[in-house]
Amino acid sequence: MAGRHYLTLTEEERREMLMAIGVDSVEDLFDDVPQEVRFQGDMQLPPSLAEGEAYKHLSSLAGQNKNARECVSFLGGGVYDHFIPSVIKHITGRSEFYTSYTPYQPEVSQGVLQAIFEFQTMICQLTGMDVSNASLYDGATALAEGAIMACGATRRSRVLVSASVSPFYREVLKTYLNSRGIALDVAPMQEGKTDRESLEGFFQKDTAALILQQPNFFGMLEDMDGVADLAHSRGALLVVAADPLSLPLVKTPGEYGADIVAGDGQALGNPVSFGGPLLGFFAARQKLVRRMPGRIAGETVDREGNRGFVLTLQTREQHIRRERATSNICSNQALNALAAAAYMAAMGPAGMQEAAGLCLQKAAYAREQLTSMAGFDLAFPGTYFKEFPLKVPGEPKLINEKLLAHNILGGLDLGAYYPELKGAMLFCVTENRTREEIDTLVRVLEGWK
C-alpha cells in the first residue's frame, strides 16, 4: 500500500490499514476535534478538473488581482517597492541555496554558512552594532524578540514603546509580551514624533527597554540624541526598529547608543510579493551576544588551518532545556537573508547611499507637488525619509478607489490605526518611482472633492 492514496485502496486494504493504526474508522482519527466545529453536510465542490483546465481556472482567478508590476505603487507602511538588481534572482535561484535546509552539518554546508556569515557582517556594518544573528521571521517579530531579550538582560518585566512605532509592530509586541507576563506601556507622540518632554515620566522602576523607530511609522526622523542616555540612566536598554535603507544617510543606531537594533530587511533585495515572506534582521552589543535569539554563523578554522564556518551559540529550545532557551525561534529566513546579502554586495555602500538619496529626493518632490493642491496638507511638520502623512479632502477609501482605476496603488488610510488621524493617508515614494509617475498621481488627484 506504500505510495498509494487512501481512496484508491480496496475496502479490505482500508480495513487492514485502519487496524494497523488501531482505529475502527477514519472518523476515529478526528475524535479530538469537537463536533460543534466540524463541517456538517456536503461541501458542494465543483467536479474535478484536468491539469490544463485547472491551470486556466487558477490563471483567471489570479488575473483578477492587481500587482505592483502593472500598477504604480505609492503604498508603504512596512513593505516597499524598491529596486532589485537582476543578479539577485540568479543567486537565490541556484538550487544549492533555495533547496537547502538548516546547515547543521558544516562539512556539507559551507556555502550557506558563508552566505549567512556575510549577511551578519554587513548588517553589523550597516547598523553600527557588534553582532548580528542569521535573521528572524520579519521586522515585527524581530523587534518583539529584542524586547524580550532586554527583559532577560535587565531582569525586568516592563517595556516602554513610542506611539510613533508601527502599529503593526506594536500589535505583535503586545501578543509576544502578554504571553510572558511582560507589561507594555505606550509613550505618547507630539506632532508625529515621540514626545520627548513627557517621555521620562513614563519610565517605571521595572522598565527594561525603551523602543523607538527610526524613521518612525510616519516616515519622520526622530530626535535620537540623548535617548540612550535617558534609558540607561533608568537602568533600561534602548531598542531601535530601523529601516535598513535609511542607514546610509542617517546616524547608525550604534552611533547614538542603541543596545539592540531590529527591523525588516525586505527593502534589501526582497520583492513585495503578497506582503511576504519578509526578513527580520537583529543586531546587538557584544555584551548581549549570549542572549540573542535565533542562530549565529561563526567563522573558524579546521584542523588544517583552513577558513571555515559553523553555527554557534545556538541557545534555542531545540538544543537546550526549553525553559532555559533565549527564544523559541527555531528557524531563520536564510533565502531572504541571502537576497539581502547579495543586494548589499551588488549595490555597495555608494549604491545604497544613492538609492536612499533618491528616496529622500523623490519623496520631497511628491510631497511638494501634492501639498500645492487645495485640501492636501502635511499632517505634521518635520524631516521625512520616503514616507509622509497627508490630510486629504474626502474619504481615503474613495481616493484609493479612484487611484486604482488609474492603476495606481494609493496611500495607507491612517485613520484605521490612529483615530486622531482620520482623513489622513500615508504615501510612500521610493527610488523606483519616476517623476512622470509622481506627476500622474498629482494629476489624478487634482480637483478631488
Q: Write down the domain spans for the chain.
A: 72-82+349-445, 87-343
Q: How far, in Å, CA of 44 to CA of 46, rounded?
A: 7
Domain 87-343: top CATH class: alpha beta
Q: How many CB atoms lie within 10 A of CB 107?
A: 8
CB 337 within 8 A of CB 304: no
The pLDDT score that the predictor gives to residue 106 is 83
What is the C-alpha to C-alpha distance for residues 273 and 290, in angstroms, rounded to an integer? 34
Q: What is the pLDDT along the chain (449 residues), one digit of tens a residue?
A: 555 666 677 888 888 889 998 998 888 888 899 988 988 888 888 888 999 999 999 999 998 888 888 899 999 999 999 999 999 999 999 988 887 777 878 888 899 999 999 999 999 999 999 999 999 999 999 999 999 999 999 999 999 999 999 999 999 999 999 989 999 999 999 999 999 999 999 999 999 999 999 999 999 999 999 999 999 999 999 999 999 999 999 999 999 999 999 999 999 999 998 888 999 999 999 999 989 988 899 999 989 999 999 988 765 555 666 666 777 776 789 999 999 999 999 999 999 999 999 999 999 999 999 999 999 999 999 999 999 999 999 999 999 999 999 999 999 999 999 999 999 999 999 999 999 999 999 999 997 76
Query: Is-contact 353 336, C-beta < 8 A?
Result: no
Residues 6 or more apart whose Cβ sits within 8 Å of residue 423 = 391, 392, 394, 395, 396, 415
CA triple 238-244-246, angle to 5 deg: 95
Question: In the sheet that 412-413 helps form, which strands lie side by side, from edge to edge?
Answer: 377-378, 387-391, 424-428, 412-413
What are the residues facing 411 on neighbouring strands? none
- CATH number assigned to the domain with residue range 72-82+349-445, chosen from the 4 options 3.30.1370.10, 3.90.1150.10, 2.60.40.10, 3.30.70.260: 3.90.1150.10
Strand pairing class (183-187; 307-312): unpaired
SS3 209: strand
Q: What is the pLDDT of residue 156?
A: 97
